[in-house]
Amino acid sequence: MTRGFVLVIEDLTEVVRAQKASAWREVARRLAHEIKNPLTPIQLSAERLRRNFSSAPPNAKALVDECTGAIVAEVEALKNLVARVPNSMKELVDRTMALYEDRMDKVKVVVDVSEDLPPILMDSLQMKRVLVNLLDNALAALAGEPLQELTIRCDLARDDTMARLTIADTGRGIASEDRERLFTPYFSTRKKGTGLGLAISSRIVADHGGYIGVEPNSPKGTRFILELPVCQESSLSMTSPASGSR
């Protein structure tokens, strides 16, 4: 009886790359936490100095105001910086959609967001706020409509440098003249709207180096487009902490 062997060769490049990316995301989160811890006491101390010198001579008060103002501004900038770590778009969408489980009974929902998309450097709490604003607008537009469909998709765009998330509804739609002002503060097409949600969302996306826009959906409704830069492979393919030099 002739014996043989079966040789199986499997390319684990993508698996190893994903493991390294995951390891660095965890390192980034921990570093961000350690950096943020002392920032609040520094900011509070600067603000306390400013209050205590409020009755100082004009020259001294002006100097203290200038210095403490610079400290507070830099602390805020650093807080915003360390709040952004590589995050998964799919995880962000899944966590946000979980908030709406009891509000979409009559809505046909399609979510198509791949787990294989590159991570995005973002403040996940701020970006969740953006998605909440977009979903709230979509649900308001769908209310009372005979056809209630909501489609959320994400793919790569602009030579794979951006993740493009689209949220399309079959609601009432938005007039062309209103679309031009939709992200302007205090403008709203909803009777009870404050006109701030989409304006704030636009600012958050811009601060992340992204783009947000709106266009008609086919056959009816509205489609919001959100683009965010993905983390470049070179920044994630470094040696993971577990396999670093000793």
- 120 within some domain: yes
Q: Name which of 64-78, 124-138, 187-201, 227-241 the model is least confident about.
A: 227-241
Of 59, 82, 105, which residue sits at a domain end?
82
Structurally, how many domains does the chain consist of? 2
173 and 187 in a common domain = yes
Q: Confidence band (pLDDT; 50, 70, 90) for 243? A: very low
100 and 75 in a common domain = no
115: three-class secondary structure by DSSP: coil
Looking at residue 91, which CATH number applies to its domain? 3.30.565.10
- 226 within some domain: yes
- 3 within some domain: no
- 104 within some domain: yes
Summarize the confidence of residues 65-91 as an average pLDDT.
80
- 130 within some domain: yes
Q: Confidence band (pLDDT; 50, 70, 90) for 14? A: low
Of 38, 59, 82, which residue sits at a domain end?
82
Average predicted confidence (pLDDT) for the chain: 82
d(C-alpha 226, C-alpha 100), whole Å: 20
For residue 146, say if its preceding peptide bond is cis, omega within 30 degrees of 0: no
* pLDDT of the residue at 168: 97
125 and 78 in a common domain = no
Q: What is the pTM of this model?
A: 0.65
Q: Confidence band (pLDDT; 50, 70, 90) for 216? A: very high
- 241 within some domain: no
Cα angle for residues 65, 68, 69 (degrees, 5° grid): 75
* pLDDT of the residue at 234: 46
* pLDDT of the residue at 94: 94
Q: Supply the range of the domain harboring residue 223.
A: 86-233
CB atoms within 10 A of CB 158: 12
pLDDT digits (tens, 9 = 90+) for 81-109: 666 778 899 999 999 999 998 888 889 99
